[in-house]
Amino acid sequence: MSLQHIEQPSVLGAGIGDNSYGHELVQRGSQAAARFLSRYGALLGFLALWQVSSTRGWVNPAVIPPLDAIVVALWTGVVGGALLDDIAISLQRSGTAFAAAVVVAIPLGLFMGQVRAVERAFDPILQVFRQTSALALYPIFILLLGLGEASKVFVIFWATLFPLLLNTIGGVKEVDPKLIEMARVYGATRLTVFRRVVLPGAVPSIFVGLRLSATTALLLLIASEMIGANKGVGFQVMNAQYNFQIPLMFAAIVLLAGLGLLSNYALVLLQRRLCRWSSATA
Amino acid sequence: MTSTDTTRRGEVSIRDLSKSFAINGRPLAVLKGLNLDIRSGECLVIVGASGSGKTTLLRVLAGLEAADGGRVLIDGAPVQGVGTDRAVIFQEPRLLPWLTVLGNVAFGLEVRGEQRARAEERARDYIGLVGLGEFADAYPKQLSGGMAQRVGIARALTVQPEILLLDEPLGALDAMTKITMQEELARIWSEENVTMIMVTHDLEEAVYLADRVLVLPKEKGAAARLIDIDLPRPRDRSEPRFVRYREELLREFGLH
Ligand SMILES: Nc1ncnc2c1ncn2[C@@H]1O[C@H](COP(=O)(O)OP(=O)(O)OP(=O)(O)O)[C@@H](O)[C@H]1O
Ligand SMILES: [Mg+2]
C-alpha cells in the first residue's frame, strides 16, 4: 500500500474493512461522501462482483466462497478465539524479527552511511545479499537453526534487514553536505553534526525503510509458517487450504492484510509526528 | 545589541597568502602573494572575475580551507580552522528544513553550547531585526528565497561574530528583493559593530555597501587593487559620485 493511500485520515477504518466486512463497507459507503465513492468505488465493485459471482455460482463457491461466509469465519475465528493464538504467535514472530532488524540495521546503516570507506567496502556484498531471495535461503537457515522458532524468526529478520539497512545508508549519504559544512562553521563537533544534521536528515529515508521492512515481515510470515509450524496466521492459511476450509483460509488472508495495513498506518502516524516539517507547505 | 567593548576586534591581516588546488593532478594557483589588512568594523567588498578566487579567499578566512603559504591573522592570532569569532553567510540560505525559523536562527548558538531557552531568546531579537518576527514558527519550506536568506543572516548575527563573511549572499535574489536586502545589510552592519567581508558580482552592490572594494586580479600574482569608497551613508545610487565609483570598478574589469 502506498503512502498516498494512507495519507487520507479516513483510511484506517475503511482500510481494515475493505477486504473483509463487505456488508459494513456497503453501509459505510452509503453514508460517505462522493469523494469516498470515487476513491473506493472500484474496491466496492470488486467486492460486490465477488459476492454475486459466488452466490450465483458463476465461480465455484467451494473455491471462492461468498463474502458473508468469509466474514463469519473471521468472526468465529477472532471473537470465538480460535485464531487469537495464531495472531499472537504470528505477531510475535514478525515483531521479534522486525525489532531485531531495527536494532541492527539502523545503527549499522547510520555508521556505514557516515564512513565512506566502510560503505564502499560493504556495498557489493550488501547488493548480493539483497538480491538473494530470503525464501531461497530459508532451507539453509532451517539446516543451521532447526525447524523451530529460530529459523522462522531469522528468515523474516533476514528479509527485513536489507530494505532498512540500505534506506538508512542512503538517507545518511543524501544529507546535504552544505548543511554539514554550515554546522561545522558554527563550531559543531562531529557528534553534534551527527545528532543535529545527519540523523534528522536521514529520518524520512529511514521511515521508507521501516515501512518496506514492516510489509516484508508480514509477507515472509506466511512463507516461514508454511514449513514446520503448527500455529500462526500463515500456518492457518496453509492448514485451512489443506483441510478445505476455504472461508477460514480467506479469513486468515484477510487478517494478514489487515495486520499489514495496521502496521503501515502506525508507521505513517509516527512518521508524520516526527517529520512534520517535510509536509509543511505555504 | 551593539557590542559595548571598545577594543579593536575583528581585525584581519593577510600576509603573502597563496592557495592552489590540484586539478587533473596539476596544481592550479588560485591565490598568489596576497597582502591585505582589514580594519576592525569595516565593510570590505571583494569583486573579481569568475574563478579569480573570491570564494577561496573567503573560505580560507572562514577556516574551511587551509592556506598553502603565507599567514592569516585575526586579531593577531593565526587562523586555525573555523572559529567562534567568525560566521559565514553562503549564497544559499542552508537552513535545516526540520527546524522552524526560530530553531534555525538559534541553531548556531545552541551548537556552541548555549541553553536552548537563552539561544531562542537571542534568536528572537535577530529574527525581529531582519523583519521576520511573524514567521518565527514557520518552516523553511514556507518561506520565499529572500526570507530564507534573511533567516540565514539572522542565524549568523545571533552568534554575534566579530567578522561576518558573506559569499554572494544576495546573488540568487530578484532585483527588487536584492535592493531591499542591500539596504538591510547596510543597516545591520551599521547597527552591529561587526567587520563585514563580502563577495559579490554586483558592482553597484559593492559601491553601495563597501568602505573599500578589493578587486582580485585575473592574472595570478598581479597586485590586487583596493578602492576606497568615500561616500556618506546612507548612500544614494543616483548621485554622480556613486555612478563614478561604479564606472571606476567597471574599468577595473576592462569593461568600460
Ligand atoms: N575544492 C576545489 N578543488 C579544486 N579546485 C577548486 C576548488 N575550489 C575552487 N577551485 C578552483 O579555484 C578557482 C577559484 O575558485 P573560486 O570558487 O574561489 O572562484 P570565485 O572567484 O569565487 O568564482 P565565482 O565568481 O565563479 O564564484 C577555480 O578555478 C576553481 O576551479
Ligand atoms: Mg564564488
Question: Which of residues B65 and A279 earns the better pLDDT score?
Answer: B65
For residue B253, what pLDDT is reported?
81
Inter-chain CB proximity A277 and B97 less than 8 Å: yes
**Tens digits of residue pLDDT in A214-241:** 999 988 888 888 888 888 988 988 888 8
Please tell me the predicted confidence (pLDDT) of residue B129: 86
Q: For A260, what's the count of Cα atoms within 13 Å in the CB-facing half-sphere?
A: 20
Question: What are the pLDDT digits (tens) for A110-124?
Answer: 999 998 888 889 889
**Is the predicted pLDDT of residue A187 greater than 60, yes or no?**
yes
* A185–B contact, CB cutoff 8 A: yes
Q: Which of B30, B198, B215, B253 to mutate to test the pocket of ligand 1 (most atoms within 8 A of CB)?
A: B30
Asked if A76 and A48 sit in the same domain, the reply is no
Query: What confidence category does residue A24 fall into, taking pLDDT thresholds of 50, 70 and 90?
Result: low
pLDDT of residue B39: 95
Mutate to test the interface with B, among A185, A197, A276 (most CBs of B within 10 A): A185
Q: In the prediction, which pLDDT does A39 show? A: 84
* Whether residue B4 has pLDDT greater than 50: no
Ligand 2 centroid – CA B41 distance (Å): 23
What residue type is assigned to position A48 of the chain?
Answer: A
| Closest atom of ligand 1 relative to the B59 alpha carbon | 18
pLDDT at A134: 86
As to burial, measured by CB atoms within 10 angstroms (0-12 exposed, 13-18 middle, 19+ buried), residue A161 is: buried
Q: Is B99 on the interface with A (CB under 8 A)?
A: yes
In this predicted structure, what is the pLDDT of residue A20? 54
**What residues of B are in contact with residue A179 (Cβ under 8 Å)?**
94, 96
Q: What is the CA radius of gyration of chain A?
A: 22
Of B82, B99, B139, the CB nearest to A187: B82
Q: Are residues A247 and A121 part of one domain?
A: yes
Average pLDDT of the residues in B168-181: 89
Query: What number is the average pLDDT over the span B31-45?
Result: 94
From A35, A59, A83, give the residue that closes a domain.
Answer: A59
The answer to whether the Cβ–Cβ distance between B87 and A185 falls below 8 Å is yes
Among candidate residues A40, A59, A78, the one where a domain is terminated? A59
Query: How close does chain B come to A167, measured CA to CA in Å?
Result: 19
- What is the number of domains present in chain A? 2
Q: Are residues A216 and A114 in the same domain?
A: yes
Claim to verify: residue A218 and residue A188 sit in the same structural domain: yes
Assess B139–A contact: CB distance below 8 Å, yes or no: yes
Ligand 1 atom closest to residue B199's alpha carbon, by position in its atom list: 22
Question: Closest Cα of chain A to B216: distance in Å?
Answer: 25
Residue B54 pLDDT > 90, yes or no?
A: yes
Instruction: Give the end of a domain, one of A59, A78, A95.
Output: A59
Per-residue pLDDT band at B8 (split at 50, 70, 90): low
Flag whether A7 is in a domain: yes
pLDDT per position as a tens digit, A34-75 = 788 888 889 899 999 999 999 998 989 888 999 999 999 999
> Using 50, 70 and 90 to split pLDDT, how confident is the model at A278?
confident
Do B112 and A187 make contact, defined as CB atoms within 8 angstroms? yes
Do the chains contact at B87 and A186, CB–CB below 8 Å? yes
Residue A11 covered by a domain: yes
- Model-level pTM? 0.82
Is the separation of the CB atoms in B73 and B15 below 8 Å? Answer: yes
Q: What is the pLDDT of residue B130?
A: 87
- Work out the minimum CA distance from B176 to partner chain A, whole angstroms: 22
- Same-domain check for residues A17 and A71: no
Structural domain containing residue A248: 67-274
The domain that contains A215 carries what CATH number?
Answer: 1.10.3720.10
CB crowding A119-139: b at 16 or more within 10 Å, else e: beeeeeebeebeeeebeebbe
Query: Who among B84, B140, B141 is closest to A187 (CB)?
Result: B84
Measure the CA–CA gap between A135 and B214, rounded to whole angstroms: 68
User: Ligand 1 center to residue B28 CA distance, Å?
Assistant: 10
For chain A, how are helix, strand and coil distributed in percent, rounded to 5?
80, 0, 20
- A135 — pLDDT class (breaks 50, 70, 90): confident
What would the pLDDT profile of B188-221 be if each residue is shown by its tens digit?
Answer: 899 888 999 999 999 999 999 999 999 998 887 7
**pLDDT bucket at B3, cuts 50 / 70 / 90:** very low
With left for phi above 0 and alpha for psi between -120 and 50, is residue B241 left, alpha or beta? alpha
> Quick one: A83 and A166 in the same domain?
yes
* Model confidence at B119: pLDDT above 80: yes
ipTM for the assembly: 0.90
Task: Give the containing element (helix H, strand E) for A217.
Answer: helix A199-224
Is A282 within a domain?
Answer: no
Q: Is the same domain home to A131 and A36?
A: no
| Predicted local confidence at residue A101, as pLDDT | 96
Same domain, A148 and A39: no
Residues A11 and A92 in one domain: no
* Cβ–Cβ < 8 Å for A227, A148: no
A43 is a domain residue: yes
Q: Answer whether residue A268 is part of any domain.
A: yes
pLDDT, mean of residues A85-91: 91
Q: Give residues (CB < 6 A) around ligand 1.
A: B 21, 23, 30, 48, 50-56
- B35 reaches A (C-beta below 8 A): no
In a domain, A163, yes or no: yes
Residues of chain A found within 8 Å of residue B59, distances taken between Cβ atoms: none
With a cut of 60, say whether residue A242 has pLDDT above it: yes
Per the domain annotation, does A279 fall within a domain?
A: no
Residues A149 and A197 both lie in one domain:
yes
Helix (H) or strand (E) holding A177: helix A177-185
Q: Is the pLDDT of residue A5 over 60?
A: no
Reply yes or no on whether the pLDDT at A166 is more than 90: yes
Report the residue of chain B nearest A175, measured CA to CA: B96
A51 and A91 inside one domain: no
Inform me whether the C-beta atom of residue A277 falls under 8 Å from chain B C-beta atoms: yes
- Of all residues in chain B, the one with the smallest CA distance to A176 is B94
| Mean of per-residue pLDDT scores for chain B | 91
Question: So what's the pLDDT on residue A2?
Answer: 43
Same structural domain for residues A224 and A247?
yes
